[in-house]
Amino acid sequence: MFSSVFLNYPTTSSLETMCHNFGNWFCESFPNETVPPKLHILIFHVPQFVTKHKSLGMFSEQGCESKHQQVKKIRKKYYCVPNPQEKLLSTLQNQMEKTSPSKSN
């Protein structure tokens, strides 16, 4: 579900059914509890979003978090470079070499 692919109708329909079924189960199992905001989002808004955009993974923050971890490692590597512009340039060049080796030259 969180991969960066487009989902077909059977998959989005199945997700919608599972989310609504889970919401029904929660309300039946815990009748005296209010639905927490994140659960409300899962039950109602995630299915709407996936139906509209045909993806969830393309819009998740996992890709950004992954890049953030990579950049943190690279920044550590250039921590001792005193000039901020030079440090930034080195960081960006290193990231470019890792993601697009043919374009870094």
**pLDDT tens across the length of the chain (105 residues):** 555 677 788 888 998 999 999 999 999 999 999 999 999 998 999 899 888 888 876 666 665 666 777 778 877 888 898 998 998 888 888 878 877 766 545
DSSP per-residue string spanning 20-62 = HHHHHHHHHH-TTSPPPHHHHIIIIIHHHHHHHHS-SGGGSSH
3-state secondary structure of 71: helix
Confidence (pTM)? 0.51
With beta carbons less than 8 A apart as the criterion, state whether 55 and 15 touch: no
The whole-number pLDDT of residue 61 equals 62
